Amino acid sequence: MSRLAINKRIASIPPSVTLGVTSKAKAMIAAGETVYSFAAGEPDFDTPEHIKVAAVQALTDGQTKYAPVTGLPALRSVISNKLKAENGLDYAPEQVVVSCGAKHSLFNIIMALCDEGEEVIVPTPYWLSYTEMIRVSGASPVLVRAKQENDFKMTPEEFEAAITPNTKAIIFNSPSNPIGIVYTRSEIEKIVEVALRHGVYIIADEIYEKLLYDGAEHVSPGSLSAEAQEMVITVNGFSKAYSMTGWRLGYFAGPQKLVKAVTALQGHSTSSPTTFAQYGAVAALEGPQDCLKEMGIAFAERRNYIYNRVSAIDGVTCVKPGGAFYVLPDISSFGLDSVSFAEQLLAAEGVAVVPGAPFGVDSNVRLSYACSMENIEKGLDGLESFIKNL
Ligand code: PMP
Ligand code: GLU
C-alpha cells in the first residue's frame, strides 16, 4: 500500500463523470464496438473554417510565444465589445480574463472568491463540476433543489430561503446543463433582486447563450442595472457556440479586484492560454456569424426529435429543454438508480448516457444531442428496446 498522501480536498473529489462516460464510449468505439453516445456536451460540428485559418495564420506568422497572462489585448478588446453589443454589459477590456476554457475561468473565479466557511448556492440539477470546484476552494456548496413541476427552475423564494450570513455567491446557469432550462427576463430580475438585497455575488455561466429554441431570449443578469453588474461575474467561452471544445478557450468579466486576484492565480498556474489559439478566438468573434445560425438550426431539429421521442416512452417524464443541447428524462419509474440504468443500458444496447446522480438528480439520466441525427435515431431505438425489456 502506497504511503502517498494526497491533499485532502483533492482526494475527496471524484473524477468528472461527463468526461468519464465520454472517454469510455470513445474507447469502446475504438475497440470496434457499436456505441451510440449521448455522453459529451460537445458539438459534433467542425470548428468553422475561417477560425481555423486565423489560428494557422498566427502559427505561420510565428505567434508561438507566451501571451500576456490575461490574454491577448486584441482578444480582450473584442470580448469587451461583444459583451457590450450582444449582452448589454459594460466591461472594459481590463475587466476581461481569458483562460483555458470556461471551466478554467469558473475554477479561477471560485478559488479567488470563496473561502473556508463560506457557502455557494447551486440550483439543482447542476453541472457536476460546480460543486467540486467549490469544495476544492474550501467553501461549501448549498444545493437548492428545484422542483420538476416548476420545470426544474429555482424560484426566488427557494433562493432566498437558502441564503445564510455565510452565503458568498450563487452559480446561475441559463441556458443550463444538464437540462436546458432558460430563465425568462422577469424570473432573472427577481433572482437578481434577491441577490442584491443580500449582497450575494452571481456567477453567471452563459456558455450556452447561443443555443436557444422557440424564440427564447438570453438575458445576462449583469445587464439589468449598474448595481447588478457590480455583483455579477459573467463567464462565457468558445467551446459550445463555435464548436471549439478542444481549443480550450473561455473567459470571464467582472470586478477589477477579482480580475487582479485571478490574474495572480493564473500567472502562477497556466500563464496565458495558447497564443495562436487566441487568434482563432478573435476571428470567431469578429468574423461572420452565419455558422451560429446553421448549427442552431441543426440543434433545434435534433431537440424536437429527441424530446418528442423520449417523452413519448411509457414511464418516462421529461421537461422540454428551452436551450443548450441536453434532455434529462426521469427514469425512476423503472426501479433503477441512474448509475445502474446508465450502466445496464450501455451493456445491453451500446447506448451511452450520463447518470443524473452527479448532477444531483438520481432519478434522471442525461442525453446530449450534440451528435448526429443518425446517432440520435439509432440510440433512441436502443433506449426504447432497453426499456421495453426491463
Ligand atoms: N459550463 C457549463 C455549464 C458546461 O456545460 C461546460 C462544459 N464544457 C463548461 C462550463 C465548460 O466549457 P469549456 O471549459 O469547454 O469552455
Ligand atoms: N460540459 C460538457 C458536458 O457536460 C463537456 C464535459 C465537461 O466538461 O463536463 O458534457
Task: State if residue 367 touches ligand 2 by the CB under 6 angstroms criterion.
Answer: no
- The letter for the amino acid at 307 is Y
pLDDT in tens, 296-319: 999 999 999 999 999 999 999 999
Distance CA 184, CA 202 (A): 16
Averaged confidence pLDDT in the chain: 97
- 209 & 192 share domain: yes
Give Cα 315 distance to the centre of its chain.
29
CATH of the domain at 218: 3.40.640.10
Would you say residue 372 lies in a domain? yes
Parallel/antiparallel/unpaired status of strands 96-99 and 250-253 = antiparallel
pLDDT tier for residue 149 given thresholds of 50, 70 and 90: confident
Out of 286, 317, 346, a domain closes at 286
228 shares a domain with 112: yes
102 Cβ below 6 A of ligand 1: yes
- Work out the burial of residue 165: count CB atoms within 10 Å of its CB; fewer than 13 is exposed, 13-18 middle, 19 or more buried: exposed
Same domain, 318 and 247: no
Q: Which residue has the cell 467551446?
A: 239
**Strand 365-368 to 354-355 pairing:** antiparallel
Q: How many independent structural domains does the chain possess?
A: 2
Find where cell 470580448 sits: 79
CA distance 188 to 186: 5
What cell numbers appear for 257 in the block?
Answer: 479586484
Q: Are residues 329 and 206 in the same domain?
A: no
Q: Which ligand is nearest to the CA of 241?
A: 1
Domain, as residue range, for 344 = 8-46+291-388
Query: What are the start-end ranges of the H helices in the chain?
Result: 8-11, 17-30, 49-60, 73-87, 102-113, 129-137, 156-162, 185-198, 226-231, 256-267, 275-286, 290-311, 338-349, 373-388
Opening angle at CA 191, ends 188 and 193, nearest 5: 105
Q: In terms of domains, do 62 and 120 share one? A: yes
* Single residue among 259, 286, 313 that ends a domain in this structure: 286
Q: Both 12 and 149 in a single domain?
A: no
* pLDDT (average), residues 170-189: 97
Q: Are residues 245 and 260 in the same domain?
A: yes
Q: Are residues 104 and 27 in the same domain?
A: no
Asked if residue 22 has pLDDT above 70, the reply is yes
Ligand 1 near 349 CB (within 6 A): no
- Of 97, 239, 274, 359, the one to substitute when testing ligand 1's pocket (max ligand atoms within 8 A of C-beta) is 239
Q: Are 139 and 114 in contact (CB under 8 A)?
A: yes
| Domain end position, chosen among 234, 268, 286 | 286
Cell numbers given for 240: 459550445
Q: Given CA atoms 163, 322, 250, 253 in this order, what sign does their dihedral have?
A: negative
CATH of the domain at 16: 3.90.1150.10
Q: What is the mean pLDDT of residues 265-289?
A: 97
- Residue 125 pairs in a beta bridge with none
Measured in angstroms, how far is the CA atom of residue 294 from the centroid of ligand 2?
22
Quick check: 1 pLDDT over 70?
Answer: no
Cis peptide before 178 (omega within 30 of 0): yes
**Which of 19-33, 249-263, 271-285 comes out lowest in average pLDDT?**
19-33
Helices (H), 203-270: 226-231, 256-267
Closest CA to 319 of 119, 167, 148, 160: 148
Asked whether residue 213 carries a pLDDT value surpassing 90, the answer given is yes
Cα separation, 361 vs 201, in Å, equals 25
Q: pTM higher than 0.95 for the full model?
A: yes
Q: What is the mean pLDDT of residues 332-355?
A: 96
Report CA(41)–ligand 2 centroid distance (Å).
5
257 and 146 in a single domain? The answer is yes
How much of the chain, in percent, has pLDDT values that exceed 70? 100
28 with 64, same domain? no
Residue nearest to atom 6 of ligand 1 (CA): 103
User: Distance of CA 13 to CAs 20, 149, 297, Å?
Assistant: 14, 31, 38
- For residue 82, is pLDDT > 80? yes
If asked whether residues 130 and 19 sit together in one domain, one would say no
Residues 190-202 have a mean pLDDT of 98
**Domain assignment present for 3:** no
112-143 pLDDT, tens digit each: 999 999 999 999 999 999 999 999 999 999 99
Residue 224 CA, ligand 1 centroid: distance in Å: 24
pLDDT band at 2 (very low <50, low <70, confident <90, very high): confident
Residue 335 lies in a domain: yes
The yes-or-no verdict on residue 148 having pLDDT over 90 is no
Q: Is 254 in the pocket of ligand 1 (CB under 6 A)?
A: no
Ligand 1 pocket test, candidate residues 21, 100, 177, most atoms within 8 A of CB: 177
Nearest CA to ligand 2 atom 1: 41
